[in-house]
Each structure stands twice: as C-alpha cells, then as structure tokens.
Structure 1
C-alpha cells in the first residue's frame, strides 16, 4: 500500500459527491473493513480501494501470476496487523501458511495459464471468509 493509496473522509466525500459528515457516520456504523482503515492522530485514513468498494461497488481485481513465490510475496505485501489477526481468527489454529494455499487455489480455479485478472487478496479474503461463514451457518 502506498501513501497515495489512502484518502481522508473529506477526500472521499468530495470524490463521490457525498454530504459532509457522511463518511464519519459510516465509520461509526462499521461500513468499512477494519483492515482498510486506521486513525492517524485525529484523522481517519481509508484505503482508496475500500472507499471505492463502499461507495461505488468497486471490485478490486489485479493481474496475478500462477507462481507460488509471486503469490506468497504478493499476499505478504497486503498484510497489516489487523488483517493478520482476522486471518488468524479465521484459520482457527490452522497454520498461517494455509492462507497462501487458499488464495493459490482461488487463482488456480480461474484457469489462467500464466497471468490473468483475479480478485485482490484482500477482496478475495473477505469474500472467502463470508462464504465460509454462510456455509457454516447452514450446517
């Protein structure tokens, strides 16, 4: 994540023509994924992809490679302490490396040869987690 990939609530409101205060309201209502926001002093910082997801139904896709080292390095580059904790909770005692295997399976499942477009790791993880929770609820 780069410095220019984060925005403030005021920037989000301007970007999406939202009424003043609506992003702070949505922060209080937990509309944002906790791993995609953080407070710096008195200012909230939101990843641009998260702002797009919440306010324009953006689907974060990236060019991926069907290469184990690429997958591991890419996933590692997306991790932050909050996301790591969510993943550990989701894995419920399974080795953390299992998350790399699961994302690899997702990439492999789309049938790409060398490179193709697939969900970013963060987008994939939250969707995968949600579908796993729905499946558990049905049992």
Structure 2
C-alpha cells in the first residue's frame, strides 16, 4: 500500500460529491472494513479502494499468477495487523498458511490463467468469510 493510496474523509467527500460529515457518519456506522481504515491522531485514513467500494461499488481486481510463491508474496504484501488478526480468527485453529492455499484455490477454481484479472486478496477474503458465515448459519 502506497502513501497516495489512502485518503481522508474530507478527500472522499470531495471525490464522491458527498455532504460534509458523511464519511465520519459512515465510520460510526461501521460501513468500512476495519483492516482498511485507521486513525492517525485526529485524522481517519481510509484506503482508496475501500472508499471506492463503499461509495461506488468498486470491485478491486488485480492480475494474478497461479503460482504458490507469487500468491504467498502477494498476500504478505497486503497484510496489516488488523487483517492478519481477522484471518487468524477466521482460520480458528488451522495454520495461517491455509489462507494462501484457499486464495490459490479460488484463482484456480475461477478458471483464471496467469496474467488474467481476479479479485484482490482483501476483496476475496471478505467475500469468502461472509459466504462461510452464511453457510454456517444454514
């Protein structure tokens, strides 16, 4: 994640022509994924991809490779302490490496070839987690 890939609530409101205070309201309403936001002093920082997801139904896609080392390196580059904790909680007692296998299975299961686009790991994880939780409820 690069410095210019994060935005403030005021920047988001300007970007999406939202009324002043909209983003702070949505932060209180938990519309943002916790691994995609953080507070720095008095300022909220939100990943641009998360702002796009919340306010324009953006689907984050990347070019992928069906390669264990690529998947591992890519996922590691996406991890932050909050996301890592969410993944560990989701995996329960399974080894953390299981998440790499699951994402690679997702790529292969979608019939994606090297260099084709697939949803980003973060997007995949939250969708996968949500579908697993729905399955458990049934």
Moved over 3 A (4+): none
Gapped runs of 5+ residues in structure 2? none
Q: CA separation in 1, counterparts of 2:14 and 2:109?
A: 39
- Report how far residue 27 of structure 1 moved: 0.3
Determine the structure 2 residue equivalent to 1:33. Answer: 33
Corresponding residue number in structure 1 for 2:130: 130
After superposition, the CA RMSD in angstroms is 0.6
Is residue 13–residue 22 contact of structure 2 (8 Å, CA) maintained in 1?
A: yes
* Deviation of 1:113 (Å): 3.0
Matched residue, 1:60: 60
Q: What is the rounded CA distance, in whole Å, between the counterparts of 2:122 and 2:14 in structure 1?
A: 25
Partners of 1:58 and 1:111 in 2: CA distance: 22
| d(CA) in 2 for partners of 1:43, 1:20 | 15
What TM-score do the two structures reach when normalised by structure 2?
0.99
CA distance in 1, matches of 2:113, 2:61: 17
1:19-98 equivalence runs, <5 A: 19-98=19-98
When the two structures are superposed, what TM-score results if normalisation uses the length of structure 1? 0.98
Q: Does the 8 A contact of 2:112 with 2:118 survive in 1?
A: no
- CA-to-aligned-CA distance 1:46-70 (integer Å, 9 cap, x gap): 0000000000000001100111110
* Cα contact 2:6–2:47 (8 A) shared by 1: yes
Structure 1 spans left out of the alignment, 5+ residues: none
Give deviations 1:103-132, integer Å, cap 9, x for gaps.
000011121232211000000000000000
- Residues paired across the two proteins, number: 138
